[in-house]
């Protein structure tokens, strides 16, 4: 199908405007959340392991570089694809973790939160630094918990980056109380390294509602897959308490699932244009939050079907030509909020998105950013205590700012399908988790 052209500006990307229904098959690269968890677990294993079809993006390359700086061997077999094609694999070779080293976290929550516990197991100082926004993101929960477990950390009492973890080669571990209401990554960070703690760990969440539970379930499943013993609330354990025993971890040969959250803009394109998009390799069972899109986007007017192909399963999503508003609690799947908000701004009735107050502490304040950017295109969005209320209005073109947030860039692109002359500022920020997004988007539209 064709797209309309728009004037090119060096700092702006003209979001393609759809002139008809999208009909496309889109191969989505590997999951960032799975790739970075798999890298940490492989680095802590007792034997080498393989990661196949990993995501190559800014966040995963930062994780890889950080582990290598601490002494882990990572050998890459790179295919012609830049997004983790079938021929790509990383061999992870554990070794004695050591400093001195410097870790650049960029603005990656998984790197800044998952690696301080790893650094506490290293022999020597590991300094953590990153992008300016990383200094503003909550890290105090991890820092305080590690100190309780026996780590020595110099953060000048900021509870944030930059900081230095003075690794002693081991960590006592044991029970710890933590308020993870601002990020489930605080819990995952402690669980991932816990098998290497001398006493394992008992993590007890003591704050308000714990967001993004699917990501904690992902951490638990992946720990069990490499031989860890985990007791958790989901399997009859005490509410908001996770226990991991001290043990050796196995090196495994793991194929990374496609990133289902990164499939969101492409599924949204089918919904917005009344078209059909197929995503190959959609897993039948997964802990990824993006799997919730099947239900959410169906409620908003589409339909979906998991089909069996010679290569596995695929998701076929079809838009009906109408978009309905939705009242939905996104507390467990907060990362989907920007894309859902973009679709809701194009709906035929109002929407209320709830349970996502923690998004104010993500790559940017996503609630404020979505409100400002949609409203500047003519929308009517208001912030609530824990989310957004969206009243659809006729939208017009303009600049959609991203605040160096990859999900803001894809949200603006969704709106641009239905609204002429939307220009995305810094679309390159999508490289954080979805390399080559502009090309994939244009190819989906047949350009």
Listed in sequence order, the residues at least 6 apart from 351 whose beta carbon sits closer than 8 Å to its beta carbon are 325, 326, 327, 328, 340, 341, 344, 388, 389, 390
The torsion region of residue 98 among left (phi > 0), alpha (psi -120 to 50) and beta comes to beta
Which H or E element spans position 187?
Answer: helix 185-193
**Cα–Cα distance for residue pair 280/387, rounded to 1 Å:** 32
Listed in sequence order, the DSSP H helices in 205-312 are: 213-225, 264-273, 293-299
CB atoms within 10 A of CB 120: 28
Cα of 89 vs its chain's centroid, Å:
21
Residue among 148, 204, 205, 141 at smallest CA distance from 173: 148
Q: Is the peptide bond before 100 cis (omega within 30 degrees of 0)?
A: yes
Task: Give the pair of three-digit tokens for residue 130.
Answer: 């990153």
Task: Give the pair of three-digit tokens for residue 81.
Answer: 């694809």
335 is a catalytic site residue: yes
Strands (E), 238-374: 241-244, 253-255, 276-280, 302-309, 312-319, 327-329, 351-354
Task: Give the pair of three-digit tokens for residue 394.
Answer: 């006729």
Spot the catalytic one: 335, 363, 373, 425: 335
One-character DSSP codes across 87-118? T-EEEEE----B-SEEEE-TT-HHHHHHHHHH
What φ, ψ does residue 387 adopt, rounded to 5°?
A: 175, -145
**Cα–Cα distance for residue pair 387/296, rounded to 1 Å:** 16
**Cα–Cα distance for residue pair 133/191, rounded to 1 Å:** 25
Residue pair 199/149 in contact (Cβ under 8 Å)? The answer is: no
**Cα–Cα distance for residue pair 223/209, rounded to 1 Å:** 24
Angle, in degrees to the nearest 10, between helices 109-120 and 32-43 = 10
Show which residues are catalytic.
335
């Amino acid at each position: 199908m064709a797209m309309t052209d728009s004037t090119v500006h060096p700092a702006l990307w003209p979001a393609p405007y759809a002139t008809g229904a999208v009909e496309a098959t889109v191969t989505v690269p590997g999951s960032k959340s799975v790739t970075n968890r798999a890298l940490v677990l492989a680095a802590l294993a007792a034997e080498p392991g393989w990661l196949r079809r990993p995501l190559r993006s800014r966040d995963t390359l930062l994780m890889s570089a950080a582990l290598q700086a601490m002494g882990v061997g990572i050998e890459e077999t790179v295919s012609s694809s830049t997004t983790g094609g079938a021929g790509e694999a990383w061999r992870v070779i554990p070794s004695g973790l050591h400093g001195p080293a410097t870790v650049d976290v960029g603005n990656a929550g998984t790197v800044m939160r998952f690696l301080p516990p790893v650094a506490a197991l290293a022999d020597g100082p590991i300094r953590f630094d990153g992008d300016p926004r990383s200094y503003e993101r909550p890290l105090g929960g991890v820092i305080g918990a590690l100190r309780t477990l026996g780590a020595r950390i110099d953060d000048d009492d900021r509870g944030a980056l930059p900081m230095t973890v003075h690794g002693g080669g081991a960590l006592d571990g044991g029970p710890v109380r933590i308020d993870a209401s601002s990020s489930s990554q605080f819990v995952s960070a402690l669980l991932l390294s816990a098998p290497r703690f001398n006493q394992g760990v008992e993590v007890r969440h003591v704050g308000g509602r714990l967001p993004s539970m699917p990501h904690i379930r992902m951490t638990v499943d992946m720990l069990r897959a490499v031989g860890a013993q985990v007791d958790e609330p989901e399997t009859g354990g005490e509410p908001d308490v996770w226990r991991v025993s001290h043990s050796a971890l196995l090196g495994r040969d793991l194929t990374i699932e496609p990133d289902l959250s990164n499939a969101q803009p492409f599924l949204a394109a089918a919904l917005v244009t009344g078209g059909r998009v197929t995503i190959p390799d959609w897993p039948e069972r997964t802990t990824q939050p993006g799997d919730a899109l099947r239900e959410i986007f169906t409620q908003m007017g589409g339909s979906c079907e998991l089909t069996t192909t010679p290569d596995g399963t695929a998701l076929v999503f079809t838009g009906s030509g109408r978009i309905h508003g939705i009242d939905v609690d996104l507390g467990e799947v907060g990362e989907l909020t920007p894309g859902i908000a973009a679709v809701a701004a194009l709906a035929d009735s109002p929407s209320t998105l709830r349970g996502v107050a923690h998004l104010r502490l993500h790559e940017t304040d996503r609630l404020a950013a979505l409100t400002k950017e949609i409203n500047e295109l003519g929308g009517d969005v208001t912030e609530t205590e824990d989310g957004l209320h969206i009243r659809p209005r006729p939208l017009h073109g303009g600049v959609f700012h991203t605040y160096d947030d990859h999900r803001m860039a894809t949200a603006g692109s969704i709106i641009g399908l239905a609204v002429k002359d939307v220009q995305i500022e810094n679309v390159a920020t999508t490289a954080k988790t979805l390399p080559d997004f502009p090309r994939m988007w244009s190819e989906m539209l047949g350009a």
